[in-house]
Copies of this chain bind each other. A is one copy, B any other.
Amino acid sequence: MYIKVSIVKYTLNKGGGHITTRKDVARLAGVSEATVSRVFNNIGPIREHTKQAVIKAAAELQYTPNALAQNFVRRRSGNLGVILPLLPKVHLFSKYYFAEILSGIGQAANERGYDLLLMFASIEGNLDYLRLFHARKVDALILLGRRDIPEDRASISALLEDKHPICLIGQRFAGLLADSVDADHITGSYEMVRHLVRSGHRRIAFINGPLEYSNSEDRLAGYRAALLDHDITFDASLIFEGNFSRKSGYELAHTIAGIHEHIDAVFASNDRMAIGLIQGLNELGISYEDLTVVGYDNADIAQFCNPPLTTVEVPLFEMGQLATNKLLDRMSGKLIGDPFEEKLPTRLIIRSTNI
């Protein structure tokens, strides 16, 4: 035990200005500090007169509660962390993809009083997500653009073991039970292929993305299901793989051109590859009138290119919103139970009339 003696000290911030604290407000309003907090947190019964005095004093002093102190004592950061892949390196999905999802996250987080802490996965790839929670920089985490590779698997299962609230967007890991949100790419692809078949195409080549992405598996599954339902035999020699970049589509043009007399259409896993392919085919003298090419994602370029691309719309903004809301529900205890695997519906967008 010890004796405390009041000692007055003056603290100045860099600018030399004084930082208004609760104490200042209390003094000016002639109440205790606790009362000021009560007013600001809308807690307990307070005489209206007292309340007004506090409000007036606070306004006069331009008082805003210090969020650092609040977060500290509440033991929560108020931050929703968002992990993005290093964007300059990512021509995989377009920036469009992340910008849309991020907007959805931002909107939902904002509505629920959370701030967004944005982090780019480091190049080394060894970003220790656990540390974010240990340091209490974030209360929950949304992960974008993760892949099914050992590093990602390890870091994510570490998070799950410690029961930290996280949500994956656009990716699932077989065997890892984590909350996740994605679009229903199985149905999306199914509908696209069905559309192609109904339009008279039967030999449909498929340019898939890397299988590290679970949505690549989904699209393949949809493709196969549609063929099956229309009594078309699956032909593995019609399956190709790109990396979602325009260039990879472009580079496949040669191969596709070699077989173009034996196929009716090409279904690319995203619009960028479709565009690249079309450009490559053009240079080889094959126009879209000779061979139908369709894409996926409904990125900007799908409507800007010439001719506009038939594609599948993915509700990116809504995916961000949903992930955020469910994640925050889970945190607040409003949502309990098994991990969710939400799949939002896609929409076929038919643009070119010739297919």
Determine whether the beta carbon of A100 is less than 8 Å from that of B110: no
A window 7-34: CB within 8 A of B: 13, 15, 17, 20
Determine whether the beta carbon of B95 is less than 8 Å from that of A99: yes
Determine whether the beta carbon of B77 is less than 8 Å from that of A103: no
Determine whether the beta carbon of B72 is less than 8 Å from that of A69: yes
How many copies are assembled?
A: 2
User: When the two chains form the complex, which single residue of B66, B103, B118, B134 contacts A106, counting CB atoms closer than 8 Å?
Assistant: B118
User: When the two chains form the complex, which single residue of B13, B82, B304 contacts A301, counting CB atoms closer than 8 Å?
Assistant: B304
Q: In whole Å, how far is A325's beta carbon from the nearest beta carbon of chain B?
A: 16
Tell me if A65 is interfacial: C-beta within 8 Å of chain B: yes
From DSSP, what is the main secondary structure of chain A's interface residues? mixed
Known: A4-B1, A106-B118, A107-B120. A66 touches B317 (CB 8 A): no
Interface size class of A (residues with CB under 8 A): 35 or more
> A64-B134, A69-B72, A94-B300 given. 12 additional CB < 8 A pairs?
A1-B6, A15-B162, A64-B131, A66-B136, A67-B135, A88-B100, A88-B103, A98-B99, A103-B120, A300-B300, A301-B305, A305-B306
Q: List residues of chain B with CB within 8 A of the CB of A120.
A: 103, 106-107, 110
Determine whether the beta carbon of A100 is less than 8 Å from that of B95: yes
Tell me if A47 is interfacial: C-beta within 8 Å of chain B: no
Tell me if A154 is interfacial: C-beta within 8 Å of chain B: no
> Which residue, of A3, A95, A98, A305, has the highest number of chain B Cβ atoms within 10 A?
A95
Q: Give A163's nearest chain B residue, CB to CB.
A: B15
Tell me if A37 is interfacial: C-beta within 8 Å of chain B: no
Tell me if A275 is interfacial: C-beta within 8 Å of chain B: yes
Q: Give A87's nearest chain B residue, CB to CB.
A: B103
User: When the two chains form the complex, which single residue of B5, B13, B75, B135 contacts A64, counting CB atoms closer than 8 Å?
Assistant: B135
Determine whether the beta carbon of A87 is less than 8 Å from that of B102: yes
Q: In whole Å, how far is A273's beta carbon from the nearest beta carbon of chain B?
A: 11
Known: A95-B96, A106-B120, A306-B279. A68 touches B66 (CB 8 A): no
Q: List residues of chain B with CB within 8 A of the CB of A20.
A: 134
Tell me if A233 is interfacial: C-beta within 8 Å of chain B: no
Determine whether the beta carbon of B13 is less than 8 Å from that of A75: yes
Q: In whole Å, how far is A75's beta carbon from the nearest beta carbon of chain B?
A: 7
Q: In whole Å, how far is A113's beta carbon from the nearest beta carbon of chain B?
A: 12
Determine whether the beta carbon of A135 is less than 8 Å from that of B1: no
Q: List residues of chain B with CB within 8 A of the CB of A69.
A: 72
